[in-house]
Amino acid sequence: MFRPAWISIFKNFYEGYELKGDWYSLFIRSSLEELSEKQAALERVYGVGDYSRWSFDQITRRAFHLLDENRQVVVEAEVVSIGNYYPRSNKWEWSWNDTSLLPDVREQARRLKGLESYTGVPIFGYKNAFEISGEAMAWELAAMAIKYIRALGCYRTPSPCGGLHSFLAINSISKNIRR
């Protein structure tokens, strides 16, 4: 579940870098505020957040499904993989660099590298997994990506036992079967 971190951990993480002044702080804050509104709408209209089962077809890149308790598709969406958060090590890896994803999925995520030149912050171009300050920062990274690509919102995949969480930008929803 998305919980905004209004005090930006991200800004503190980059103390010492020459950021684009107050603009950058406003970008983080507005990204989080917009994501909060978008998530509320996705939950209200489509029930995103109500379903812990999901599937993603990397070949089509379009068939992301949320499944009910009977494993029936209740939501079908087109998504862009943003990145992965590893809670045990507090690391983040951008999807465009994740070799476990098919090349087409990584290529689709590559446009997120544009955040580096857009913000002037090198973290958006890091080629390897890097340490972050926790899940709140993972949500900040996802929020800025969502804003940058103008997505409808985000789905964070659930993971048992503190494993990997993938963050997916929801670009469109083509099927909704609310019960």
Task: Give the pLDDT confidence score for residue 16 in this predicted structure.
Answer: 47
Per DSSP (E only), the strands in the chain are: 53-56, 64-67, 73-86, 91-94, 130-131, 153-156, 165-176
Instruction: Give residue-wise pLDDT tens across range 101-154.
Output: 889 889 989 999 999 998 888 899 999 999 998 999 999 999 999 999 999 999
